[in-house]
Amino acid sequence: MRTQIEAGDLSEEVYRATRCLRGDTLQAKLQQLSAPLEDVLTRLDMLPLGESEDTAHLRCKRREIVTSVQADLADIDNFRQDFAAARSTMRRLNAVLDALCQQQPDFCCPITHDIMRQPVTTSTGRAYEASALRIHCATQRSQGVRPTCPLTTRVLDPAQQERPNRELQFAINTAVREAIAESGASEAEQAAMWARWWRE
């Protein structure tokens, strides 16, 4: 069990490092595109083009290209900013959820060790994240074994294998909302964190 937790922590750390690297890479590419564009514009302005119909057409085309490239660069920069904001929201939400998991262990799924979004109760009376329990049961069935409760190892009653636990779900959602409100985030950040919680 200890190795699985460390491996999970490591994979999450690798995931976070990869996300940071992607953001840094986007910023570097944006800067790389900006410098050559300025250089091209400067060189075009220095060309000794006499005034003719062709040069007027070239200047017009140049303006169109410059406008198009600047719009593309602005889109890339907007995407980078949106990505950074989403990453920040996820970091804050994960910190809130980790703290809540420490304070309220009953809100955490024994399989995933994360706050449950759709808790279900088994015939043994234990609560799990619905998707995690389904995967657990499907894995056991594929091995030719009757599904058992991950905590008690008792065989699960197929008729009552998983029942949605609305009370627990309501309590979790209330606790998450309160934890987000107490996180010190701005109202906009709180709204983004709450929306992210519902999207997951």
CATH fold label, 109-199: Herpes Virus-1 (3.30.40)
Judged on CB neighbours under 10 Å (0-12, 13-18, 19+), 129 is buried
Place of tokens 């949605």: 164
The two structure tokens encoding residue 81: 């900013």
Per-residue pLDDT averaged across 147-175, rounded? 87
The least confident of 59-68, 76-85, 133-142 is 59-68
pLDDT band for position 170 (cuts 50, 70, 90): very high
* Sheet strands side by side (includes 119-121): 127-129, 119-121, 163-164
Has residue 38 got a pLDDT over 50? yes
Q: Decide if pLDDT at 35 tops 50.
A: yes
Query: In the chain, what are the domain boundaries?
Result: 2-103, 109-199
**Per-residue pLDDT at 142:** 92
Binning pLDDT at 50, 70 and 90, where does residue 129 land?
Answer: very high
pLDDT tier, 109 (very low <50, low <70, confident <90, very high otherwise): very high
Confidence at 76, pLDDT banded by 50, 70, 90: confident
Taking the model in full, what pTM does it have? 0.58
pLDDT of residue 189: 84
Q: Phi, psi (5° rounding) for residue 169?
A: -60, -45
Q: Which residue has the higher pLDDT, 179 or 3?
A: 179
Higher pLDDT, 12 or 183: 183
At residue 40, the pLDDT reads: 67
CA distances from 47 to 61, 62, 64, 65 (A): 15, 13, 18, 17
Q: Is the pLDDT of residue 10 over 60?
A: no
